[in-house]
Structure 1
Amino acid sequence: MRKSTITLAAAAQELRRGRESGMSTAEYAVGTIAACAFAALLLAVVKSGAVEGLVTTVITTALSVSL
């Protein structure tokens, strides 16, 4: 009786492993797509006129300060 219980438990564990084998790959794919979408959004914001003008002003002010 004990041998069949061990075999059944091992089979159940193997089934669980098999169902989740591609799970981490899918999670990486979703994470990569989300990171690319966030990078595209950030690039669009940084290239907008208001942010570009603000960054230019900050850099110009920082370079014109005499020490």
Structure 2
Amino acid sequence: MTNSRTWNRVRASLGAFWRSRRAGTRTDDGMSTAEYALGTIAAAAFAAVLYKVVTSGSVAGALESVISKALHAPF
């Protein structure tokens, strides 16, 4: 009889613990304004670097070469 009472107390404590853990994680619905700002700045910086790489002379030449070969391929 004592073992079942102890087990019930342990089970109730664990249940309360996990309910509180789940409730705590549900309050975080998404990013805050500061996180949006940092994400936007990082995305803009990445886009600027990517634009510079793609418009560089060697990459632009390689892209033109690939496109012209694709357009003039024999059927």
* Identical amino acids, percent of aligned pairs: 59
Larger Cα-atom Rg = 2
Calculate the TM-score normalised by the size of structure 1.
Answer: 0.65
Pair 1:34-2:42 in alignment: yes
- The RMSD of aligned alpha carbons is 1.8
Aligned to 2:57: 49
Shift of 1:66: 1.5
The list of structure 1 runs, each at least 4 consecutive aligned residues, that deviate by more than 6 angstroms after superposition, is none
How many residues are paired up? 47
Q: Determine which structure has greater relative contact order: mean sequence separation of CA pairs < 8 Å that are 6+ residues apart, divided by chain length.
A: 1
Query: How far has the Cα of 1:27 moved from its partner?
Result: 0.2
- The CA deviation string for residues 29-59 of structure 1, in whole angstroms up to 9 with x for no partner, is 0000000000000000001000000000000
Q: How does 1:1-67 map to 2 (within 5 A)?
A: 24-67=32-75
* Structure 1 unaligned blocks of 5 or more: 1-16, 18-22
